[in-house]
């Protein structure tokens, strides 16, 4: 097999990318980078106003669908709709998520279930639905947005930690099962990224911001585009022999002291 030349090896021309939670933050950054690399991008989420604004900023070659990923029985219909409107999904980005900040002893089973339903079961429903067509076509890329919570302990987020840690095992299992059929499965584990949400949270908690920066060797927050370009790489021909990987994009936080 010949290797495409630079920059074609990073091109996503002809690909159709479905990005869940793609209206804001890291999801939008991923959508924007995939779009810039040439992919036809469909962003999915529950809030139409945010999705519409995202698509307006992306421009031609993008669209949105209002969808709740916890409607597991609607996953196949979503994949079919995207195929009819934009083309068969060749790149799925499981980015939709929620969080719950509570002491572990105060986290109820109902709390836990709400987080797991969105991150784990919602992602699985879409992955299973999208992978069927990818396996038939013998090509595709599936990405998960993992977390530092996938890699080490963070207090007060036990349900989120369980969900993001589950991604580590899911990615390895999917990769082992799907990769013989030409479908690669990987995850990105963002460190602390400078989003509107993080600015609000850390602005109200300077001690937490100082702790984060002190344990990040690069001593700063990341930019959402850092995650977006990593998603382009993992979805592109440049990563054609990369599967089952959890890639930290974290300024060294996962290895720093």
d(CA 165, CA 39): 29
- With respect to residue 256, please indicate whether it lies within any of the assigned structural domains: no
- With respect to residue 214, please indicate whether it lies within any of the assigned structural domains: no
d(CA 91, CA 19): 8
As given in the structure block, the two tokens for residue 129 are 């639905």
Q: Per DSSP, which regions of 48-193 are E strands?
A: 62-66, 91-94, 140-145, 183-190
Q: What range defines the domain where residue 231 resides?
A: 8-194+224-248
- With respect to residue 211, please indicate whether it lies within any of the assigned structural domains: no
Give the number of other CB atoms < 10 A from CB of residue 138: 10
One digit per residue, the tens of pLDDT, for the chain of length 257 reads: 566 788 899 999 999 999 999 999 999 999 999 999 999 999 999 999 999 999 999 999 999 999 999 999 999 999 999 999 999 999 999 999 999 999 999 999 999 999 999 999 999 999 999 999 999 999 999 999 999 999 999 999 999 999 999 999 999 999 999 999 999 999 999 999 998 878 887 888 899 899 999 999 999 999 999 999 999 999 999 999 999 999 999 999 999 87
Sole residue written with tokens 């036809």: 40
- With respect to residue 174, please indicate whether it lies within any of the assigned structural domains: yes
> Which one of 64, 160, 167, 174 is the catalytic residue?
160
pTM over cut 0.85? yes
Burial call 99-117: b when 16+ CB within 10 Å, e when fewer: bbeeeeeebeeeebeebbb
CA 86 to mean position of chain CA atoms: 20
Q: What is the pLDDT of residues 41-59, one digit of tens each?
A: 999 999 999 999 999 999 9
Q: What is the pLDDT of residues 74-127, one digit of tens each?
A: 999 999 999 999 999 999 999 999 999 999 999 999 999 999 999 999 999 999
3-state secondary structure of 2: coil
Q: Give the CATH number of the domain where residue 131 resides.
A: 3.40.50.720
Give the number of other CB atoms < 10 A from CB of residue 166: 19
- With respect to residue 216, please indicate whether it lies within any of the assigned structural domains: no
d(CA 172, CA 219): 31
If we measure between CA atoms, which residue out of 60, 85, 78 comes closest to residue 20? 78
- With respect to residue 254, please indicate whether it lies within any of the assigned structural domains: no
User: Catalytic: 160?
Assistant: yes
For 51, residues 6+ apart whose C-beta sits below 8 A from its C-beta are: 22, 23, 43, 44, 45, 64, 65, 66
- With respect to residue 207, please indicate whether it lies within any of the assigned structural domains: no
Domain count, the chain: 1
- With respect to residue 3, please indicate whether it lies within any of the assigned structural domains: no
In the prediction, which pLDDT does 184 show? Answer: 98
d(CA 201, CA 182): 41
């Amino acid at each position: 097999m010949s290797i495409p030349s630079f920059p074609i090896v990073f091109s996503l021309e002809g690909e159709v990318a479905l990005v869940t939670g793609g209206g804001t933050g890291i999801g939008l950054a991923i959508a924007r980078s995939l779009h810039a690399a040439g992919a036809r991008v469909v962003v999915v989420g529950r809030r139409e106003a945010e999705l519409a604004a995202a698509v307006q900023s992306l421009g031609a070659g993008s669209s949105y669908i209002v969808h709740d990923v916890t409607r597991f029985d609607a996953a196949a219909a979503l994949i079919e709709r995207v195929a009819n409107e934009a083309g068969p999904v060749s790149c799925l980005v499981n980015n939709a998520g929620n969080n719950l900040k509570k002491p572990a002893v105060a986290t109820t089973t109902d709390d836990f279930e709400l987080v797991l339903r969105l991150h784990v079961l919602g992602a699985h429903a879409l992955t299973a639905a999208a992978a069927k067509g990818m396996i038939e076509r013998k090509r595709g890329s599936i990405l998960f947005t993992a977390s530092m919570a996938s890699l080490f302990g963070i207090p007060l987020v036990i349900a989120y930690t369980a969900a993001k840690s589950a991604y580590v095992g899911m990615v390895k299992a999917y990769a082992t099962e799907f990769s013989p059929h030409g479908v690669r499965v990987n995850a990105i584990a963002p460190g602390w990224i400078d989003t509107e949400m993080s600015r609000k949270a850390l602005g109200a908690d300077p001690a937490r911001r100082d702790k984060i920066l002190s344990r990040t060797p690069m001593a700063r927050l990341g930019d959402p585009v850092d995650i977006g370009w990593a998603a382009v790489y993992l979805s592109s021909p440049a990563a054609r022999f990369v599967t089952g990987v959890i890639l930290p994009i974290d300024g060294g936080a996962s290895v720093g002291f």
